[in-house]
Amino acid sequence: MPIPMLTLEEQRETAPPSGTGPQKEQAVQRMFSSIARYYDLNNTLLSLGLHHSWKRKAVELMARESVKLVLDAGAGTADLALLAARHLGAKARIVAADLNRPMLAIGVEKVRKATLQRQIVCVQANAEHLSAPNATFDAVTTGFCMRNVADLPRALQEIRRVLKPGGRLICLEFSRPVAGWLRRLYDWYSFTLLPWIGTRVSGDTTGVYRYLPASIRSFPDQDGLARLLREIGFEKVKYHNLSGGIVAIHVAVK
């Protein structure tokens, strides 16, 4: 099944911090294309299965009664989009947007197997330059994507622009463990064990499993991201720590 090529854009930018924007984008595509077939498997292995509950919790923060059109920015293989469709019911429509074609191809197949094609459309697109009209979506979800964009403030500004007044951003992202002992354990796991397991399972040669933990460390922590969201103009910004702060869900209202 071909992937629709629409103007709504979302970027999964995963290159190292050096180089220009286009160079980073090319590096990202090489990385995620390399691991696309193993992405879901490695998510489960490397999170010890916890990513399923994290994603369910994020989707549960959407109000069923008021949400009819959702953008999932950085949809990857469409896990959040599928959960959102089931949570919201048949009335809702979800646009699952990601730049990486191999990742989206897997998402399209998962949507087909779930017989949710009428609710979910997968589009290849870029988060920093969304072509959707102002005030289009009732909610925007994003899972493990925002730390990979080239320009975080710009991506968040675009998300705010396409949200309707009163619409919610729900951002699930790796963050900073609260306890010192957990931070030390998590750093050891992230920089030692995770790259070893991820690389061997996927056969990756691009360095993506070295990049991913580094991207987590350089991303704003819970309070830092909350502050940035407020600076951009979001209101009622709150966050929920999960698994001791290994991940956090930020909820913000336009």
The structural domains of the chain, ordered by start, are: 21-253 (3.40.50.150)
In 10 A of CB 188, how many CB atoms? 11
In 10 A of CB 116, how many CB atoms? 17
pLDDT band of residue 84 (cuts 50, 70, 90) is very high
Q: Which residue has the higher pLDDT, 38 or 83?
A: 83
- The half-sphere exposure of 158 on its side-chain side, counting CA atoms within 13 A, is 22
Q: Which two tokens stand for residue 170?
A: 């729900």
The mean pLDDT value of the chain amounts to 86
Q: State yes or no: pLDDT of 6 exceeds 80.
A: no
Between CA 163 and CA 166 the distance in angstroms is 8
Q: State yes or no: pLDDT of 43 exceeds 90.
A: no
Give the percent of the chain with pLDDT over 70.
89
pLDDT band of residue 63 (cuts 50, 70, 90) is confident
Q: What is the pLDDT of residue 207?
A: 80
- Has this prediction a pTM greater than 0.85? yes
CB 158, CB 133: distance < 8 Å = no
